[in-house]
Structure 1
């Protein structure tokens, strides 16, 4: 007999899409995989050198539960530079990627029945972790407002049980970047209603001109004592497999996170910590420049190809490395012809007919969306998007 909480969990929609792609490829089909939330890149030399040096020094023992003090100090300097405010090591916990940072936040903030506002479309893990913590996710639709939450809609969703708001910018899956005014308005709402802000900025490195990413704490310093910032190096350094991230917030929260993490995972991988510490101390401008160019070139190529779509608007792709397609017009045309067409149908057709794996918007609470990653090899991206465009144009 399984615990009741297991009934609250469904397998991650993005992971399921990846598995479907792998299954199709294992049958001998040529599959171009646009599902993964990662960038195909070599390792930054500073990260590699730091990790190898740690191995050569036989660093194989526990560190502090929430990370090396030297690493947390270096992260404090990084965050201080980004927010123009002083930070200390006591306000930072190093975690096994952003997922653990988010899980820690949910577990130390939420009591059973507490509600958390989540703008939709949303990353699949947000509501799952809130449910595990005993909370209730409350979804706020942003599809009618260019994927940016309107404060009036957030206010309408408030109840006496509302405890927190999730703010994810640049957004996964939509790629939307929230402007300063939106962030300031959300922060003021949180102050007025005594709410926590869970601020996920994992894609903040990739903001595409003319758009800019703004840390919540830099926009609204008055909300710092109620803001938990979640970040990782999975995207910015292309080290998804290393599982290294952090949570920054008030000391009282970090103290609670230390206790929680001591009973769950203990410290993050010591070799990964030293690799990241070496990067933060040395920086790696050549790697950063090359990775930025790689993402920018992929985005430009993708937008050019997707501009040929006839019944699907070109995505804005303001930040991150996803194209998010609005299938609404395709669905309206299908309905007029007496056919039902949701995002799952489109994703399945693309996989079967075009050999292109995508993530259906249903994974993100949106039956009219489709997420495409452009973090893959440029030649494969070119091939995959041309196949996808031809197939979708055939549906219109």
Structure 2
């Protein structure tokens, strides 16, 4: 099943966006919404960010709020990263680097990808970016022409369609809720038209936690090859595939698809460095050259201290911190699955990868709405926040009105408390 995104799916409702100075004569500071560019109506604040804001607002009332909205891990900094950052500061490194990152860092990233894909890579095929979001934005801007269609399995991370629309493209959503959140190849093939330019592949998946198997990735690569499509492969959660599931970099599965594949990754998840904003895009030299030109007019080079910190980490070859992080996430997952196994009206989540539990509320909502009600995931999220002090993200942020995303990247004690509250609330609603 598929649907092409209507404009209303991504457009915010026109509102009074007037901005007023809180003191003094503020008449001269009013801004009419009509003066803003039309593209500002194509997107709105990320609903994951909105959920986090709601949690913070609720906490200001003095109520204990346990925030399970964030796509990040509670962790200290890896010693090798810390040492690299401090060394960079001690050396007074404060100038621009190359637009797409230090040559040495790009070489180190190329070596990392070579080890993961069993293929040689060069620094000229790597662009270091301000997080994976910029890598995705760059990809959309250099690949898409107005009207180009991009296939996106749904539920989806909300930034995927938002950036495609900003670039002038059209998202086409492929429903996966009835196929264990992994797209069927027949559904993808049926959605391809003469306007289709690319397929977004996100595994382990945000928000669902699904890990795409080897055969699915091989089939997607073959479809892209047969229909002359680009593959945008987002593997930001690749370090967190939970046994018996395995993360397969798509180019390790289908090396022949290399000339039509862009790899998107970051260190935000694997090293718990969300605030450092450092990621990368890897692909054909012609694409990276175009990205370099684009980035020279947007952000220029990524943060120089962060770059040197990551270079120190990659050169050290130290995997101990990441192993420790993975062990902590595995423990949190085991605890969470144990608690959520007590759910009675909600299927138990699979949580194959990443650090989210994705709960399907379809049956619960059906029961709650059996008398003609219109309760959806947004209402459940609001009730959980108000009644239990637990903040989660509504599936409407991901194109699913019957799901909620629950992060388990926090410390075990608050996680246990939050999940027990959540389970009791969902079991108690009729």
What's the TM-score, normalizing by structure 2? 0.91
Q: Which residue of 2 aligns with 1:312?
A: 346
Q: Which residue of 1 aligns with 2:412?
A: 378
Q: Distance in 2 between matches of 1:275 and 1:373?
A: 27
1:365 Cα deviation (Å)? 0.1
Matches within 5 A, 1:81-160: 81-160=115-194
1:198 Cα deviation (Å)? 0.3
Which of 393, 400, 424 does residue 366 from structure 1 map onto?
A: 400
1:159 Cα deviation (Å)? 1.4
Per-residue CA distance 1:161-199 (angstroms, 9 max, x = gap): 100000000000000000010001011110111000000
Higher relative contact order (CA 8 A, sep 6+): 1
1:333 and 2:363 correspond: no
Which of 343, 348, 360 does residue 377 from structure 2 map onto?
A: 343
SS at match of 1:145: coil
Structure 1 unmatched runs, 5+: none
Per-residue CA distance 1:205-238 (angstroms, 9 max, x = gap): 0000000000011111111100000000000000
1:223 and 2:254 correspond: no
SS at match of 2:128: strand
Matches within 5 A, 1:259-274: 259-274=293-308
1:151 Cα deviation (Å)? 1.1
With 284-293 and 209-218 compared, the bigger mean Cα shift is at: 284-293
1:206 and 2:240 correspond: yes
Q: Which residue of 2 aligns with 1:168?
A: 202
Structure 2 unmatched runs, 5+: 1-34
Q: Distance in 2 between matches of 1:230 and 1:289?
A: 22
Q: Distance in 2 between matches of 1:378 and 1:370?
A: 20
Q: Distance in 2 between matches of 1:285 and 1:192?
A: 38
1:341 Cα deviation (Å)? 2.0
Which of 77, 80, 90 does residue 111 from structure 2 map onto?
A: 77
Q: Which residue of 2 aligns with 1:193?
A: 227
Report how many aligned residue pairs link the two structures. Answer: 396
SS at match of 1:108: helix
Which of 249, 254, 266 does residue 283 from structure 2 map onto?
A: 249
1:285 Cα deviation (Å)? 2.7
Contact kept? 1:46, 1:283, Cα under 8 Å: no
1:29 Cα deviation (Å)? 1.1
Contact kept? 1:45, 1:284, Cα under 8 Å: no
Q: Which residue of 2 aligns with 1:50?
A: 84
SS at match of 1:345: helix
SS at match of 1:325: strand
SS at match of 1:350: helix
1:331 Cα deviation (Å)? 1.3
Q: Distance in 1 between matches of 2:116 and 2:296?
A: 29
1:377 Cα deviation (Å)? 1.1
1:339 Cα deviation (Å)? 2.5
Contact kept? 1:40, 1:375, Cα under 8 Å: yes
Per-residue CA distance 1:104-138 (angstroms, 9 max, x = gap): 00000000010000000000100000000000111
Larger radius of gyration: 2
Q: Distance in 1 between matches of 2:429 and 2:185?
A: 36
